[in-house]
Amino acid sequence: MDASTDALLFAADRTEHTIKEILPKLREGYVVVSHRYLLSSVCYQSAKSDVDTSWIFAINERAIEPDLTILLDVDPRVSLVRIADRPVKEKFETIQFLDAVRTNYKKYVHPPKIIEVNSSGSIDDTFDLILTHCEKLLEHDLKKI
């Protein structure tokens, strides 16, 4: 599939999910946790194509800005070893492509809104790092009340 078509389909899905799922839950007072949001589209879809990042942001204008984005950073070689036993590989799962995606993500790391967590360690270690950042954000938000 053409990269622009991919981008449009992801944007349509994200818009629908934002309107029907995320916004109602936020209005009800929930904390919403999501994986692979807008930044994911920007970094993946611009990694090996001529798709302009400003266009990707534009077609995703209905997406809301997260309070916190966490980049779980791991060398693509490590990630591919971790998923080696999967019977089916995704079209994005090559070293060259994942290296380009990782480089793109790192351009957007700007604490405290977008942070990077080294996830090359154990699941427990990674969870502890994520929890620390989330607790800081929640403590900060509670002080506003």
Examine the fold and report which residue of 42, 66, 90 is the final residue of a domain before the chain moves on. 66
Single residue among 66, 87, 102 that ends a domain in this structure = 66
Segments forming the whole domain that contains residue 116: 67-145
Q: What is the pTM of this model?
A: 0.82
Q: Are residues 57 and 75 part of one domain?
A: no
Which distant-in-sequence residues (6+ apart) come within 8 Å of 71 by Cβ? Answer: 105, 106, 108, 109, 114, 115, 116, 117
Do 26 and 87 sit in the same domain of this protein? no
Regarding whether 110 and 142 lie in a shared domain, the answer is yes
Mean pLDDT of the chain, nearest integer: 89
Task: Note the pLDDT of residue 118.
Answer: 94
Indicate the residue among 12, 33, 66 that finishes a domain: 66
The per-residue pLDDT for range 46-90, each reduced to its tens digit, is 887 788 999 999 999 999 999 899 999 999 999 888 888 888 777
- 99 lies in the same domain as 136: yes
13-26 confidence digits (pLDDT tens): 999 999 999 999 99
**CA-based nearest residue to 40, from 78, 80, 71, 62:** 71
Number of domains in the chain: 2
Residues 56, 74, single domain; the answer is: no
* Lookup result for tokens 């980049």: 71
129: number of Cβ within 10 Å: 18
- Separation CA 21–CA 131 (nearest Å): 24
Are 81 and 35 within one domain?
no
Please tell me whether residues 87 and 120 are part of one structural domain: yes
